[in-house]
């Protein structure tokens, strides 16, 4: 088997942990597997480097930040190779550039354009474990680039695709993907498998095991990967294309996002172009909008609607300012803003073929006496906004209804 294993910053946080990683790799090596190991910078290192740069200049050049940050993973690859040598296992480290990872030139958030896996194949065929620096690449002109947040996962998945690996393992500090956050829902269970689309919805909903773009990349290239813990031997969660059998399960998981805030414009004149004007202005201010709900406004003579949307909590003040600036132009009634909300979502590909899912969710919440502020649905997801104080109660109830122990 050809296996790509990725270890994050916590898993390589000090020399003892790097030795643990080497021991795990050694077990696979002993079975005769060919192994490519992708590592992140040791935890804390990247933040320290950024701090050094900002000590000198608050907004350092992104090209130079990439040169600086790339040293973090380069340090780890060398130490990991040495740790394998200490166990008598032949191993060779490679920077992103050496591994043939070619990116575009968008510094600090480069996209992988191409991987030339020849050198890695050659080194593996000579019996080596190959250790590749995650998070980094090189432009065709030889500039050092980094891939942005979650970049090491992306490196691993892209390498698995380029090498046609049999298995891609993403080692992290959790056991896999759960039906809900086990710190909140004690009956939450680890999933054996999940589809890319479900994982994407969960990733964007606060179950932050992996960044969306790594999952999107895996989906695009059909890379099956496993999310599992580097702290134990438990099998993790397999993430793969949706199968017929997956549709038997209506709800795969429940998530609660406490990092949203809500803005409601009451009595917005109901004429074409108003919503476009509002969200253009919000977008121009670099504010990400998540849910948007519009409904008929009652209690007004003229045709008008109420318009609500959610943004990330830290952006709430900025969003209010934008909306205040539009008051004269648009002439809405009033603005109600609150960051006292939680967004509860249920996700599952089985929803496509099962009816009554939304009804059951709303009924469950009603039985708990929890009011629903906003509703938004997609093919495989239903999200509702509730009072923040009731969020965890709502999550537990919905989890119990759809995923009984």
Site residues (CB under 8 A) for its own copies?
A: 15, 18-19, 49, 52-53, 55-57, 60-61, 63-65, 67-68, 70-71, 74-75, 77-79, 81-83, 85-86, 92-93, 95, 98, 142, 144
How distant is the alpha carbon of residue 183 from its chain centre?
Answer: 19
The span from the CA of 16 to the CA of 28, in Å, is 19
Name the minimum Å distance from CB 24 to its own copies.
15
Q: Which of 339, 299, 341, 291 is nearest to 315 (CA)?
A: 339
Give 139 or 300: the residue with its C-beta nearer to its own copies: 139
**Which positions ≥6 away from 14 have C-beta within 8 Å?**
42
Name the minimum Å distance from CB 232 to its own copies.
23
Give 83 or 394: the residue with its C-beta nearer to its own copies: 83
Name the minimum Å distance from CB 71 to its own copies.
4
Give 84 or 323: the residue with its C-beta nearer to its own copies: 84
Q: Integer distance in angstroms from the first to the last C-alpha of the chain?
A: 36
Q: Would you say 218 and 157 are in contact if contact means Cβ atoms under 8 Å apart?
A: yes
Pairing relationship of beta strands 225-229 and 237-240 according to DSSP bridges: antiparallel
* DSSP code for 100: T
Give 76 or 195: the residue with its C-beta nearer to its own copies: 76
Give 15 or 288: the residue with its C-beta nearer to its own copies: 15
Name the minimum Å distance from CB 122 to its own copies.
11
Name the minimum Å distance from CB 49 to its own copies.
7
Give 60 or 333: the residue with its C-beta nearer to its own copies: 60
The span from the CA of 224 to the CA of 169, in Å, is 9
Name the minimum Å distance from CB 308 to its own copies.
43
Give 68 or 249: the residue with its C-beta nearer to its own copies: 68
- Neighbouring CB atoms inside 10 A of 237's CB total 22
Q: By three-state DSSP, how is residue 155 classified?
A: helix
**DSSP result, 380-400:** TEEEEEEEGGGHHHHHHHHHH
Rounded alpha-carbon distances, angstroms, from residue 48 to 38, 42, 44, 109? 21, 11, 6, 19
């Amino acid at each position: 088997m050809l296996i790509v294993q990725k270890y994050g910053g916590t898993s390589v946080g000090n020399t003892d942990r790097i030795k643990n990683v080497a021991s795990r790799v050694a077990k696979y090596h002993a079975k005769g597997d060919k192994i490519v190991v992708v590592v992140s910078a040791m935890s804390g290192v990247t933040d320290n480097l950024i701090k050094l740069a900002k000590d000198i200049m608050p907004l350092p050049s992104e090209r130079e930040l990439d040169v600086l940050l790339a040293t973090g993973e380069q340090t780890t690859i060398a130490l990991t190779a040495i740790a394998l040598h200490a166990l008598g296992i032949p191993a060779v480290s490679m920077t992103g550039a050496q591994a043939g990872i070619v990116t575009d030139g968008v510094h600090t958030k480069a996209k992988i354009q191409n991987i030339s896996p020849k050198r890695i194949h050659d080194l593996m065929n000579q019996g080596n474990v190959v250790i590749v620096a995650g998070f980094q690449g090189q432009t065709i002109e030889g500039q050092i680039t980094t891939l942005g947040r979650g970049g090491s996962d992306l490196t691993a998945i892209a390498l698995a695709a380029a090498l046609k690996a049999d298995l891609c393992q993403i080692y992290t500090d959790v056991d896999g993907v759960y039906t809900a956050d086990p710190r909140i829902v004690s009956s939450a269970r680890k999933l054996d498998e999940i589809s890319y689309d479900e994982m994407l919805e969960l990733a964007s909903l606060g179950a932050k095991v992996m960044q969306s773009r790594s999952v999107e990349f895996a989906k695009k290239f059909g890379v099956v990967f496993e999310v599992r813990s580097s702290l134990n031997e438990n099998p993790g969660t397999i993430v793969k294309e949706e199968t017929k059998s997956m549709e038997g399960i209506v709800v795969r998981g429940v998530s609660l996002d406490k990092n949203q805030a809500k803005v409601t414009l009451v009595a917005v004149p109901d004429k074409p172009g108003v919503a476009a004007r509002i969200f253009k202005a919000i977008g121009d201010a670099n504010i990400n909008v998540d849910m948007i709900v519009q409904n008929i406004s009652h209690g007004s003579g003229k045709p008008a609607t109420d318009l609500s949307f959610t943004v990330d909590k830290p952006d709430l003040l900025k969003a209010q300012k934008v909306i205040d600036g539009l008051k004269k132009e648009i002439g809405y009634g009033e603005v109600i803003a609150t960051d006292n909300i939680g967004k509860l979502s249920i996700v599952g590909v089985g929803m496509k073929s099962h009816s009554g899912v939304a009804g059951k969710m709303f009924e469950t919440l009603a039985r708990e006496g929890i009011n629903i502020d906003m509703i938004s649905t997609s093919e495989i997801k239903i999200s509702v906004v509730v009072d923040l104080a009731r969020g965890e109660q709502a999550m537990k109830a919905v989890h119990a209804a759809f995923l009984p122990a």
